[in-house]
Structure 1
Amino acid sequence: MLATVKGIYENGRITLEETPPSLERSEVLVTFTKVRASSQKKKREFGIGKGIVKNMSADFDEPLDDLKEYM
């Protein structure tokens, strides 16, 4: 069985943030990723979707002609 459990490595120790699903003897693989500081989040930029997102047509909610026989 494979399971992923998040934890923090600090001062030579790994502290798990949750209990693993299996408490039996298991082989473990450890992958290290960089921790992002919450104060270093990228500031959101307004208007990022301008030109990509288009308005829906005025008749978007109107019934389709192809489905008239079912209505």
Structure 2
Amino acid sequence: MLTSVTGIYENGRVILEEPPKSQKKQKVIVTFLDDNEAEESTLAERPFGTMKGSFKLSSDFNEPLDDLKEYM
């Protein structure tokens, strides 16, 4: 099973932001991000409802499809 945990590399040590689920000895892969990339990854949250009125569902959206009649 793969698990990702964020952290900071400083003075030759990796400091994890949260403890891993397993405390036993395991192999790990450490990926270093560019400083700019790390800052850009924190996106501002969008308020709910910003897409309201942008698209419409047809009135028969929930009706069975003719293509699938033989399976029903």
Scaled by the length of structure 2, what TM-score is found?
A: 0.48
Larger Rg: 1
**Greater relative contact order (Cα < 8 A, sep 6+):** 1
